[in-house]
């Protein structure tokens, strides 16, 4: 499912009186809220769906696949998603 299909599902769930633009604004508001929550609190927990959290990735050695040369990869931050029980059960 891509973003356009997700917007269509949101519009369908909200009813026929909701426009596609309103459904897209709703999706954007939720995604923006998740981004801000992760930035501020380092995690966002949606009971029954899952938890988004920030993880630290250590610096490590890697290999350039084109040349085979060893390279140093810097430490970085990443976002991890852990599936909640409700979502897991629905699969």
Domain assignment of residue 15, yes or no: no
Query: What total number of domains does the chain contain?
Result: 1
Q: Across the chain, what does the average pLDDT equal?
A: 93
For 49-79, write each residue's pLDDT tens digit: 999 999 999 999 999 999 999 999 999 999 9
- Among 9, 2, 84, residue whose Cα is nearest residue 47: 84
Does the predicted model carry a pTM greater than 0.85?
no
Which residue range forms the structural domain that includes residue 42? 32-58+74-91
- Residue 50 burial by Cβ neighbours in a 10 Å radius (0-12, 13-18, 19+): middle
Domain assignment of residue 21, yes or no: no
Domain assignment of residue 19, yes or no: no
- The torsion angle over the Cα atoms of residues 21, 15, 46 and 82, rounded to 10 degrees, is -80
Residue 43: CATH number of its domain:
4.10.520.10
- Does residue 17 surpass a pLDDT of 90? no
């Amino acid at each position: 499912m891509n973003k356009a299909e997700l917007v269509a599902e949101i519009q369908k769930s909200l009813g026929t009186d909701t426009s596609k633009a309103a459904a897209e604004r709703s999706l954007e508001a939720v995604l923006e809220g998740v981004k801000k929550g992760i930035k501020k609190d380092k995690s966002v927990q949606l009971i029954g769906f899952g938890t988004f959290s920030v993880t630290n990735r250590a610096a490590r050695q890697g290999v350039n696949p084109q040349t085979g040369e060893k390279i140093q990869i810097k430490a970085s931050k990443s976002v991890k998603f852990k599936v909640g029980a409700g979502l897991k059960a629905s699969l």
